[in-house]
């Protein structure tokens, strides 16, 4: 006899316009998009990221990536010199020389990204023309460009810009009955493998974008359906839609509930029954629920405040509130994409303050007044808030750590529980 089938989570369908959003514009505290190179160079294993920037950019990327453990590094900075910045020399000539030397020494590079920075944007160095020129003169290497600049951006936009630059490269094929689903967003290999096994068991053909090797790009057919794995891929989704792909709307796959609903968006689109989905995921959900138990004891009833940083804030707040019983004080996010975040937003409690953008001084005032048990914020705010006696969690860790899907649900919850445990120990 079959086991009883657990029902799918209920996603309220309250009109999004009904939720007031506090929109702020002022000084903000975020990292720049260069940070994405840290996880993207691990994901696309034959790509090289050449930042065209300053010594500051070189220091940021080197310190964010930690000690270089590769015999052959896969990112570097072409440093703009004072003469380049002053417009006294043609930075393009120097860039061509650097790229020529790099490709001669590293024939394993199949895809080269020229990554723009604040300095290259300020001097209006046209990296798209440079990429075209260098692609023509190096036919064995595809040269693309995107901006990782920190001017008016936040750190996860680097991945979005990188993937959007790859969308025109995806080969077009004719539509077929079994066109695979495309999962979009860089996932750690271990998480990608787990999702692949689940989709195989569900009978949903799947490809992942970005791929592990740039020579194995997924194909696009008219009407290819795609599912975002990350909530910060607005430009990539737009570029895919402009090529005729269709986005499946779903909450993001954090925690048991989010993962089930995310998978359900795929299975329903591919004609797989909810009962089959429930049976396939039951063992994973059991493990995940058990893994959440301990963290729930520590986190239940605790008040949490999100500063806008990673763009993961809304789906994480949904997970913490619904599966760990945390109380949301304020959920700040740099950008609120109503279409992409709609299903997660609809599951937040009605009384929580959702804010978009940042005026850091005003938000700090609200945070200090609320005295939450846990503050999720960027590194620049964490130390001062700790000194004031608040407990913090670095939001960047949530992007560097595998957190998607059932098998990571317990680890994700622990990331929030750990700072509270640390604070308790310090106080003993």
Residue nearest to ligand SF4 (CB): 150
- Give the whole-angstrom CA distance, residue 50 versus residue 56: 14
- Geometric angle at alpha carbon 41, from 240 and 316, rounded to 5°: 65
Give φ, ψ of 24 to 5 degrees.
Answer: -130, 145
Q: What is the number of alpha carbons within 13 Å of residue 318 lying toward its C-beta? A: 26
Q: Which is nearer to ligand SF4, 30 or 345 (CB)?
A: 30
- Give the whole-angstrom CA distance, residue 423 versus residue 219: 49
Q: Which is nearer to ligand SF4, 150 or 334 (CB)?
A: 150
Instruction: Give the x/- contact pattern for ligand SF4 in 51-90, rule: CB under 6 A.
Output: --xx-xx--x------------------------------
* β strands within 91-217, DSSP E: 111-116, 142-147, 181-184, 206-209
- Give the whole-angstrom CA distance, residue 264 versus residue 274: 7
Instruction: Give the x/- contact pattern for ligand SF4 in 118-147, rule: CB under 6 A.
Output: x-----------------------------
Decide if 112 contacts 47 (C-beta within 8 A): yes
Q: Tell which one of 38, 117, 395, 408 touches ligand SF4 (CB under 6 A).
A: 117
Q: How many residues bind ligand SF4 (CB under 6 A)?
A: 12
Stretch that binds ligand SF4, among 48-56, 256-264, 352-360, 366-374 (CB under 6 A): 48-56
- Per rule CB under 6 A, is residue 157 in the interface with ligand SF4? no
Decide if 316 contacts 398 (C-beta within 8 A): yes
**Tokens at 46, concatenated:** 């034959």
Q: Which is nearer to ligand SF4, 157 or 321 (CB)?
A: 157
Q: Tell which one of 38, 127, 144, 150 touches ligand SF4 (CB under 6 A).
A: 150
Q: Tell which one of 32, 125, 292, 324 touches ligand SF4 (CB under 6 A).
A: 32
Which residues 166-225 are close enough to bind ligand SF4 by CB under 6 A? none
Q: What is the number of alpha carbons within 13 Å of residue 270 lying toward its C-beta? A: 25
Q: Which is nearer to ligand SF4, 122 or 190 (CB)?
A: 122
The nearest distance, CB 154 to ligand SF4, in angstroms, is 11
The nearest distance, CB 98 to ligand SF4, in angstroms, is 17
Three-class secondary structure of residue 173 per DSSP? coil
C-alpha 205: how far from chain center? 23
The nearest distance, CB 357 to ligand SF4, in angstroms, is 18
Q: Which is nearer to ligand SF4, 154 or 236 (CB)?
A: 154
The nearest distance, CB 142 to ligand SF4, in angstroms, is 23
The nearest distance, CB 118 to ligand SF4, in angstroms, is 3
Q: Tell which one of 75, 141, 149, 315 touches ligand SF4 (CB under 6 A).
A: 149
**Tokens at 287, concatenated:** 């493990």
The nearest distance, CB 90 to ligand SF4, in angstroms, is 21
- Per rule CB under 6 A, is residue 334 in the interface with ligand SF4? no
Q: What is the number of alpha carbons within 13 Å of residue 414 lying toward its C-beta? A: 12
Asked if the peptide bond before residue 210 counts as cis, ω within 30 degrees of 0, the response is yes
Beta-strand relationship, 142-147 and 111-116: parallel
The nearest distance, CB 57 to ligand SF4, in angstroms, is 3
The nearest distance, CB 146 to ligand SF4, in angstroms, is 12
* β strands within 185-266, DSSP E: 206-209, 225-228, 246-247
The nearest distance, CB 33 to ligand SF4, in angstroms, is 7
Give φ, ψ of 260 to 5 degrees.
Answer: -60, -45
Three-class secondary structure of residue 178 per DSSP? coil
Q: What is the number of alpha carbons within 13 Å of residue 222 lying toward its C-beta? A: 2
- Per rule CB under 6 A, is residue 34 in the interface with ligand SF4? yes
- Per rule CB under 6 A, is residue 396 in the interface with ligand SF4? no
Residue 66 falls in which region: left (phi positive, over 0), alpha (psi -120 to 50) or beta: left
Q: Which is nearer to ligand SF4, 34 or 320 (CB)?
A: 34
The nearest distance, CB 56 to ligand SF4, in angstroms, is 5
* β strands within 177-287, DSSP E: 181-184, 206-209, 225-228, 246-247
The nearest distance, CB 398 to ligand SF4, in angstroms, is 20
Give me the residues that bind ligand SF4 (CB under 6 A), please.
32, 34, 53-54, 56-57, 60, 117-118, 148-150
């Amino acid at each position: 006899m079959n086991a009883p089938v657990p029902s799918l989570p209920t996603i309220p369908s309250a009109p999004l316009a009904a939720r007031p959003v506090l929109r702020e514009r002022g000084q903000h505290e975020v990292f720049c998009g260069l940070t994405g190179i840290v996880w993207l160079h691990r994901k696309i294993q034959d790509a090289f990221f050449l930042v065209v920037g300053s010594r500051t950019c070189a220091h940021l990327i080197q310190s964010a990536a930690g000690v270089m453990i590769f015999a052959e590094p896969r990112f570097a900075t072409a440093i703009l010199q004072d003469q380049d910045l002053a417009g006294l020399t043609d930075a393009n000539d120097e860039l061509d020389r650097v790229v020529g030397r790099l490709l001669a020494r590293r024939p394993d590079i199949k895809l080269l990204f020229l990554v723009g920075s604040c300095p290259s944007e300020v001097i209006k160095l046209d990296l798209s023309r440079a990429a075209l020129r260098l692609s023509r003169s190096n036919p064995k290497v595809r040269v693309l460009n995107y901006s990782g600049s920190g001017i008016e951006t936040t750190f996860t936009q680097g991945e979005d810009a990188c993937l959007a630059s790859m969308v025109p490269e995806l080969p077009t094929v004719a539509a077929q009955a079994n066109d695979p689903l495309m999962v979009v967003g860089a996932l750690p290999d271990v998480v990608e493998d787990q999702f692949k096994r689940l989709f195989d068991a569900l009978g949903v053909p799947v490809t992942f974008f970005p791929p592990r090797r740039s020579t194995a790009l997924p194909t696009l057919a008219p009407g290819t359906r795609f599912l975002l794995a990350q909530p910060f891929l607005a430009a990539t989704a737009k570029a895919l839609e402009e090529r005729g792909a269709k986005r499946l709307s779903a909450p993001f796959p954090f925690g048991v509930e989010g993962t089930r609903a995310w998978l359900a968006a795929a299975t329903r689109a591919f004609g797989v029954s909810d009962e089959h989905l429930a049976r396939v995921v039951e063992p994973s959900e059991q493990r995940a629920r058990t893994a959440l138990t301990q963290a729930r004891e520590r986190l239940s009833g605790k008040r949490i405040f999100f500063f806008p940083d990673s763009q993961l804030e809304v789906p994480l707040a949904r997970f913490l509130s619904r599966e760990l019983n945390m109380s949301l004080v304020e959920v700040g996010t740099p950008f609120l994409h109503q279409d992409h975040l709609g299903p997660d937003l609809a599951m937040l409690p009605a009384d929580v303050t959702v804010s978009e953008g940042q005026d850091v001084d005003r938000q700090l005032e609200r945070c200090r007044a609320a005295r939450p048990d846990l503050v999720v914020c960027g590194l620049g705010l964490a130390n001062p808030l700790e000194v004031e006696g608040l407990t913090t969690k670095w939001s960047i860790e949530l992007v560097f750590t595998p957190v998607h899907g059932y098998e990571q649900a317990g680890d994700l919850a622990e990331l929030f529980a750990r700072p509270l445990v640390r604070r308790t120990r310090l106080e003993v």
